Amino acid sequence: MYDWLIVGAGFAGSVLAERLATERNERVLLIDRRNHIGGNAYDRYDDDGLLIHQYGPHIFHTNSKQIFDHLSRFTEWRFYEHRVLAEVDGMQVPIPINLDTVNKLYGLNLTSEQLQDWFAQRAEKIGEIRTSEDVVVSTVGRELYEKFFRGYTRKQWGLDPSELDKSVTSRVPTRTNRDDRYFTDEFQFMPRYGYTRMFEKMVSHPNIHVMTQTDYGDVKNVVPHRRVIYTGPIDEYFNYQFGKLPYRSLRFEHVTLDKPWHQSVGVVNYPQTQDYTRVTEYKHLTGQEHAKTALTYEYPSAEGDPYYPIPKPENQELFKKYERLALATPDVWFVGRLATYRYYNMDQIVGQALATFRRINEALPVGADTSSVKVMSGSTALLS
């Protein structure tokens, strides 16, 4: 008899498995339908011995010391600040848009102060910033919006930015200085030996039994367990009874080139040309030294594994229907990017899992009578 059946061995499932096993001394069966742990953060060595990310580039960044310290129990780190160029009008320029982006693109020599005025002259006044178009157009104006955001977003999401919640393009700031880092978080590191090694260390515990290539449907009525943590798509758990929640997918094309370097930074974005959105060269991220180099091209797609929840008001409404069902489901706790239908980064998922663990401790004191207690944890994890 397991105390917990945890569905999904990504960040949400693996962080919780470790906490429950270590802190509550409970027995955990951690399953994943894929043939590996790590969820979308899984990395592996390719045939040439290059470390690649199977599901596209994963760069760890956070402002939370608590989250960084927690993961530091399972890995050493390599300092890495991510830089991205966008290929626009035949040039490769920094994204997020900064002083150098505008000066290079328009052959100008503006100062930071002058750039503020330059943006102000172009920015459109918008009453209520609602959509992903509003965010950009109201900051840098329509021309830069069209060059950098419109095409990329249409490719990535199959939707116009005007149809997407403002939170999507808000992920990418605009700067008037020369800072060309993609993120400005206090902690920006890659796990020194890769994500998979970090996950292996996290779940290697005598109380945790890991089974890959195992679907929830195959074991739920077979393996005795007291409670479930479910980190898969929430609509799938409820047999799509209100209809499918849209998730955006990607096709990854992994390529190895017989030369040491392909591009000058970790990622190059293609907002105006190509069917792919971006190209990643892993050696920039991993620091690996190798005579060859490994790249991944990302082709967005409506079909395939669910990678991105799609932030739109009507999708959120549909999610809320499933959320209500989840809240009424005893002994199943819904956690993670797919189960809570939020466009969360890895650190946010670790934070959500740690918060869920604290709430489990409150709802189910160790050794006490554990009749079901329904708790709703704000707008993030769903607990029962």
Provide the binding-site residues for ligand UDP, judged by CB under 6 A.
Answer: 86, 95, 148-149, 152-153, 156, 168-169, 171-172, 269, 271
Please report, as a single letter, which amino acid is at residue 232.
Answer: G
Verify binding: residue 268, ligand FAD, rule CB under 6 A: no
CB-nearer residue toward ligand FAD: 217 or 260: 217
Number of H helices, E strands in the chain: 13, 19
Task: Please tell me whether residue 75 binds ligand FAD under the rule CB under 6 A.
Answer: no
17 is a contact residue toward ligand FAD (CB under 6 A): no
Residue 372 CA: distances (Å) to CA of 278, 328, 375, 378:
46, 11, 9, 18
CB-count burial class (<10 Å; 0-12, 13-18, 19+) for 138: middle
Nearest CA among 225, 240, 245, 305 for reference residue 31: 225
- Run of H or E residues at 6: strand 2-7
Interacting partner of 346 out of ligand UDP, ligand FAD, none (Cβ under 5 to 8 A depending on kind): ligand FAD
Three-state SS at 7: strand
Q: Given its phi and psi angles, is residue 141 left (phi above 0), alpha (psi -120 to 50 degrees) or beta?
A: left
State the CB neighbour count (10 A cutoff) for residue 72.
15
Instruction: Reduce the DSSP state of residue 303 to 3 states and report it.
Output: coil
Task: Map the footprint of ligand FAD across residues 294-353, applying CB under 6 A.
Answer: 307, 336-338, 344-347, 349
Residues ≥6 apart with Cβ < 8 Å to 66: 351, 354
By the rule CB under 6 A, 181 interacts with ligand FAD: no
210 binds ligand FAD (CB under 6 A): no
Beta bridge partners of 247: 309
59 interacts with ligand FAD by CB under 6 A: yes
The least distance separating ligand UDP from the CB of residue 190, rounded to whole angstroms, comes to 15
Which of the choices ligand FAD, ligand UDP, none does residue 139 contact, using the CB cut-off of 5 to 8 A by kind?
none
Minimum CB separation of residue 219 from ligand UDP in Å reads 32
Q: Is 232 in the site for ligand FAD (CB under 6 A)?
A: yes
| Residue count (the chain) | 384
Residue 168 interacts with which of ligand FAD, ligand UDP, none, CB < 5 to 8 Å by class: ligand UDP
Residue 307 partner contact from ligand UDP, ligand FAD, none using kind-dependent CB cut-offs of 5 to 8 Å: ligand FAD
Half-sphere CA count of 374, side-chain side, radius 13 A: 8
Instruction: Indicate the residue among 12 and 382 with the shorter CB distance to ligand FAD.
Output: 12
User: Is residue 177 within 8 Å of residue 99, measured between CB atoms?
Assistant: yes
- Which partner in ligand UDP, ligand FAD, none is near 175 (CB below 5 to 8 A by kind)? none
Query: Which does residue 148 bind out of ligand FAD, ligand UDP, none, counting CB within 5 to 8 angstroms by kind?
Result: ligand UDP
3-state secondary structure at position 372: coil
Q: Which does residue 282 bind out of ligand UDP, ligand FAD, none, counting CB within 5 to 8 angstroms by kind?
A: none
Asked if 41 is part of the footprint of ligand FAD (rule: CB under 6 A), the reply reads: yes
Residues binding ligand FAD (CB under 6 A): 7-13, 31-34, 39-41, 55-59, 215-216, 231-232, 250, 307, 336-338, 344-347, 349
